[in-house]
Structure 1
Amino acid sequence: MPICGESSSLPSGSGAKVWIAHAGVLLGSCVAAAAAGYYLRRHRSRSFRSRVIGIIPARYASSRFEGKPLVPILGKPMIQRTWERAKLASTLDSLVVATDDERIAECCRGFGADVIMTSESCRNGAERCSEALQKLAKSYDIVVNIQGDEPLIEPEIIDGIVQALQRAPDAVFSTAVTSLKPEYAFDSNRVKCVIDSNGYAIYFSRGLIPFNKSGKVNPKFPYLLHLGIQSYDSEFLKIYPKLEPTPLQLEEDLEQLKVLENGYKMKVIKVDHDAHGVDTPEDVEKMEAIIREKNIE
């Protein structure tokens, strides 16, 4: 499948029509994505993206850890701990949980969270956020996808990626990275990222990137670990599920690669954060030890 490129300096007036027509001849199936990008750019010029909602997508069925959102961590379901941390972010106008499972929905309503029921057909968190967005009564400019398995997510990181997207009108997506610890260099559950000199994502991988000829970790290189939290321009999020799966996305099983393969820009911020996601049952005990150490209720 060809990669769709979105020009960062699309000419105005009749030149834009020529460009889009030319793209149609050269790229075929990429016309819809290119035109969508042009629409988004025009849309953003009229809006500051001031209305922000956080969505925590949660599903019960997981191949690695079934029922993970409900696993108790020192007396509280993990999704409750994530929700309580996210509520502290100053940029969020609203916060909801999006799920396809009534057990999760009942649990979340029990501790006071708003819940949006979504379909079981959602293939990833972005698609679940997209469906939830369209079911909301109010409209928003930015949607923050907050991973439910990050019970120690820092509200400052949520605020940081929101502000990054507000300040980058050429981007439709923003996310965060932190330093990768050497012991996680070849852990496929730890997603790595490389960015350009302007802070835009180049690539994400489950393998170590960049890789060198020695095949070993270079202790002097600042490898970057991708944190699961990400935010989207709301108009782009409506388009996202309509984009066909892409080769790199399918090979790496990373949803953000579909964004890059279709030529959209992604802003990345660097933060100082010890990643404490829960990927397997073995991670729960580690998480509880950290919470005790930090004296978090």
Structure 2
Amino acid sequence: MSVCNSTSESSSSTRGWLVHGLVLAAAVAAAAGAHVALALRRSGRLRSRVVGIIPARFASTRFEGKPLVDILGKPMIQRTWERTKLASTLDHVVVATDDEKIAECCRGFGADVIMTSESCRNGTERCNEALQKLAKKYDIVVNIQGDEPLIEPEIIDGVVKALQGAPDAVFSTAVTSLKPEDALDPNRVKCVVNNHGYAIYFSRGLIPFNKSGKVNPQFPYLLHLGIQSYDSKFLKIYPELPPTPLQLEEDLEQLKVLENGYKMKVIKVDHDAHGVDTPEDVEKIESLMRERNIS
């Protein structure tokens, strides 16, 4: 049976129900989050067993078939998998997909594959379904975006260690400095954090925004990188949480976590984001790889 919910998150009736149910949902989620954190403290152990999952789907609205696009002679999903395998904190790496073409490709270069439902609404739900189908149990699940073929293994290790070091958090992710030319690009998600390194908000718009309505060249804006890790207990709860107004409006799954009262640890890294969001980004990635002599 599929663990993903196929109901559309964009219907007006759903939005209305969410607005009225938000307070109750947040209270329930906060209680669940406290239970997860308490269980971890009582167990007296580090979240030590870690699996990396690369969700990949063929039917992307912005770039259909993106995981299979050729990047200097290799499919992009293979390049992401090879980089991910270099991370020292991962005990296992799998690709989670709903498409047989992607699965066949991944098996061809040696990756373990978990088939998941087409009804998964985002990468987090796909990771949850894959986690439940794995034979072994894991404490942390790392969601590695398949469209970052130059992801640094050190960043993967960084988000894992951040979650291991923050027992009150159920989620961790990474940010880097936002380039001025990307400030108004809705495909570049921005993030703001508090003084303790926990996320406050994510947006496709520029945050923070100032009265002038212009980009402030002196402000250290933060760009969200796609990689994120979850406590495995929380990941099982996540699909049962109702979609939230901010999540629906921004189309960002991280906001459902925050709106439901959970804590998210954020680390800042020195990394140029090289995600492939559109077909035009492929040429940019290949040019960069040639400059770095990456074959």
Shorter-chain TM-score above 0.5: yes
Out of 116, 119, 136, the residue aligned to residue 118 of structure 1 is 116
Paired residues of 1:3 and 1:261 also in contact (CA < 8 A)? no
State the partner residue of 1:231. 229
Deviation readout 1:132-162 (Å, 9 max, x if unpaired): 0000000000000000000000000000000
* Contact in 1 for aligned 2:25/2:260 (Cα 8 Å): no
- Kindly state the Cα deviation for residue 196 of structure 1 after the two structures are TM-superposed: 0.3
Residue-by-residue CA offset, 1:12-63 (whole Å, 9 max, x unaligned): xxxxxxxxxxxxxxx5344532332122012211131000000000000011
Q: What does residue range 210-221 of structure 1 map to in structure 2 within 5 Å? A: 210-221=208-219
SS at match of 1:267: strand
Q: Relative to 1, partners in 2 of residues 1:28 and 1:204: Cα closer, same or farther, differing over 3 Å?
A: closer
**Residue 191 of structure 1 contacts residue 226 of structure 1 at CA under 8 Å; is this kept in 2?**
yes
Which structure's relative contact order is higher, taking Cα pairs within 8 Å and 6+ residues apart? 2
Letter in 2 for 1:228: G
Equivalent residues in 2 for 1:266-281, closer than 5 Å: 266-281=264-279
Gap runs ≥5 in structure 1: 5-26
> Could you give the per-residue CA deviations for residues 184-216 of structure 1, whole angstroms, max 9, x where no partner exists?
000000000000000000000000000000010
**CA-based RMSD:** 1.1
Could you tell me the percent identity over the aligned residues?
A: 81
Partner of 1:200: 198
2:24 aligned residue: 28
Residue 39 of structure 1 aligns with an amino acid whose one-letter code is H
Report SS of the residue matched to 2:212: coil
- For residue 37 of structure 1, the aligned residue among 20, 27, 33 is 33
* Cα distance in 2 for residues equivalent to 1:140 and 1:81: 24
Indicate the larger mover: 273-282 or 33-42.
Answer: 33-42
Alignment of 1:138-177 (within 5 A): 138-177=136-175
Further displaced range: 36-45 or 127-136: 36-45
What secondary structure does 1:203 align onto? strand
Aligned amino acid, residue 108 of structure 2: G
Q: TM-score w.r.t. structure 2 length?
A: 0.91
Gap runs ≥5 in structure 2: 1-18
TM-score normalized by the length of structure 1: 0.91
Distance 2:202 2:239 in 1: 20
Q: Is 1:262 aligned to residue 260 of structure 2?
A: yes
Q: CA separation in 2, counterparts of 1:188 and 1:39?
A: 35
Runs of 4+ in structure 1 displaced over 3 angstroms? 1-4, 27-32
What is the DSSP-based 3-state SS (H/G/I as helix, E as strand, rest coil) of the residue aligned with 2:224? strand
The answer to whether the Cα contact below 8 Å between 1:3 and 1:262 also exists between their aligned partners in 2 is: no
Per-residue deviation, 1:295: 1.1
Q: Which residue of 1 aligns with 2:13?
A: none
Distance change in 2, residues 1:285/1:78 (3 Å)? same
Aligned partners of 1:178, 1:271: CA distance in 2, in Å?
Answer: 5
